Amino acid sequence: AGRGYRFLAKDLGDYDIVFSDPLSRRFDYDRDGRRSLVRGDTEHGHLAWVPELPAAGLNHPRPLYVWVPPGYDQSEDRYPVLYMHDGNNVFDRFQVRSSPGGTWDADQVMEDQLAGGHVRPGIIVGVPNSVDRFEEYTHVPDRYSGTLRGGDGDDYVAFLVDEAKPAVDARFRTLPDKANTGVMGSSLGGLISFHAGYLRPDVFGFVGGMSSTFGWGRFGLDGPTIIERYAALTDLPERGQIFYLDSGGGPAPVCPGQEDNYCVTLEMRDLLAAKGVDRTPPDPDASPLPADVNLFWYWSEGAAHNEPNWRVRLHRALRLFFSPAS
């Protein structure tokens, strides 16, 4: 992905220290870790970063990791943007990461889909989590494993809309309108994506959740769950949003088995359809998907709750949001 370089220095013990350029915006990873890039190329996308944002209302400032498509540096085009949570697990397999399960490898999945003509070029933003993940990614408090946790989701969504998105729009050539802005995550990241879509339908035209923790709110308290909040909406079809949701797991032997949030994902799917968001693809493997699809549900029978399985399913969500027919 372009010409890369690192700096070499000596520490006090006269040992070599190799590190990337802290002032370079462009970077990627290889087997030796992070390296800086002079310029991206036309064959591969590359990563860039937005320096640490204050994250007002949250306890932890954070940077943003941004993947731009092949040819970005050689073009003047503008691109749709997908914001993905748990951004420290989103990109390259060589990325230093917080999850022992690996990364989504979203940059490689997106490049593969581009090469196959299944998607249009776009930008993916990885928004890192923090030690307050349970608090930031949940819309209400709940009692989880005997501990009262969560409920700062409104502040996290405000960070996305008021800090993260303006920073990305100012630094990159984006299509900033609702139709070209999506939000997506897995597990609690799927929950907060649907909460973001609930709160700000004017900003997020696409909402995606994999193995989403839709039952949060009633594990040990009285809710409401995000499903109950969507159920109370009277204008859901008029919001003009597109929804992707999936899970692994399956009935055990029938719901309410909760392997990989299978049953609550079905419940959310059925609720959206009953509300009038019901244009589903006749063939989930179609490429391109029909332009009028606004609900895509997929079940990977028996799949576990981890990054390798989300990586395998990611192309379906990318085909929906970055559809060439859009």
Which pLDDT score is estimated for 32? Answer: 72
Q: Give the closest residue to 161 by CA, choosing from 181, 185, 146, 144.
A: 181
Q: Please give the model's pTM, rounded to 2 decimal places.
A: 0.92
Residue with tokens 């630094």: 171
Both tokens assigned to 219: 């594990």
Cα 26 to Cα 20, 78, 174, 222: the distances in Å are 10, 18, 17, 46
Helices and strands (H and E) in the chain: how many:
8, 15
CB contact at 8 A, 129 and 152: no
pLDDT digits (tens, 9 = 90+) for 218-267: 999 998 999 999 999 999 999 999 999 999 998 766 676 668 999 999 99
Residues 6 or more apart whose Cβ sits within 8 Å of residue 44 = 1, 2, 70, 111
Q: Amino acid identity of 149?
A: R
Type of residue at 325: A
Q: Closest Cα partner for 88 from 127, 55, 52, 50? A: 127
How far is residue 62's CA from residue 54's CA, in Å, rounded to a whole number?
7
pLDDT given at position 238: 98
Which amino acid appears at position 298 of this protein? Y
CATH topology of domain 24-321: Rossmann fold (3.40.50)
Q: What is the pLDDT of residue 26?
A: 74
What parts of the chain have a pLDDT lower than 70? Answer: 1-2, 5, 7, 10-11, 14, 16, 18-19, 21, 23-24, 40-42, 93-101, 252-254, 256-258, 326
pLDDT at site 252: 67
| pLDDT for residue 25 | 73
Helix (H, G, I), strand (E, B) or coil at 206: strand
- Provide the residue ranges of all domains of the chain, joining segments of one domain with +: 24-321
pLDDT tens track for 196-221: 999 999 999 999 999 999 999 999 99
Distances (CA, A) of 303 to 73, 192, 201, 249, 300: 38, 22, 31, 5, 6
Cβ contact 221:141 at 8 Å: yes
Q: What is the pLDDT of residue 326?
A: 67
> Is 77 exposed, middle or buried (CB count within 10 Å of its CB: 0-12, 13-18, 19+)?
exposed
Between CA 312 and CA 242 the distance in angstroms is 21
199, 157 Cβ separation under 8 angstroms: yes
Using an 8 Å Cβ cutoff, are 296 and 316 in contact?
yes
